[in-house]
């Protein structure tokens, strides 16, 4: 499983639909705060220490909150990202 796939899975586990998780990850890949991940999204997650996913998840979680506030402010999962 790639880093991106793992983070998408984590978003889905936080009550988002697959399509929403993909859109959020598309946005996250372009975000400057995650520039250090450029070129690494499709690397195998198992090849990195778990701390990398934990730190990256914090940024992706913020991306999810912002995306939901802008695109689905009444989404039932918004509270999962507050």
Count of CB atoms situated within 10 Å of the CB of 67: 22
Total count of residues recorded for the chain: 82
pLDDT band of residue 79 (cuts 50, 70, 90) is very high
Which tens digits make up the pLDDT trace of 21-74? 999 999 999 999 999 999 999 999 999 999 999 999 999 999 999 999 999 999
Res. 82: pLDDT tops 90? no
Instruction: Round to whole Å and give the CA distance between 11 and 1.
Output: 15
Res. 4: pLDDT tops 90? yes
Burial degree of 20 (CB within 10 A; 0-12, 13-18, 19+): buried
Predicted TM-score (pTM) of this structure: 0.93
Burial degree of 15 (CB within 10 A; 0-12, 13-18, 19+): middle
């Amino acid at each position: 499983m790639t880093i991106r796939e793992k983070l998408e899975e984590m978003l889905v586990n936080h009550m988002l639909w697959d399509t929403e998780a993909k859109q959020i990850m598309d946005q996250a890949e372009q975000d400057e705060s995650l520039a250090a991940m450029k070129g690494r999204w499709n690397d195998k997650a198992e090849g990195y220490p778990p701390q990398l996913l934990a730190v990256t998840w914090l940024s992706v979680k913020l991306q999810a909150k912002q995306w939901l506030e802008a695109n689905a402010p009444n989404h039932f999962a918004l509270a999962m990202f507050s």
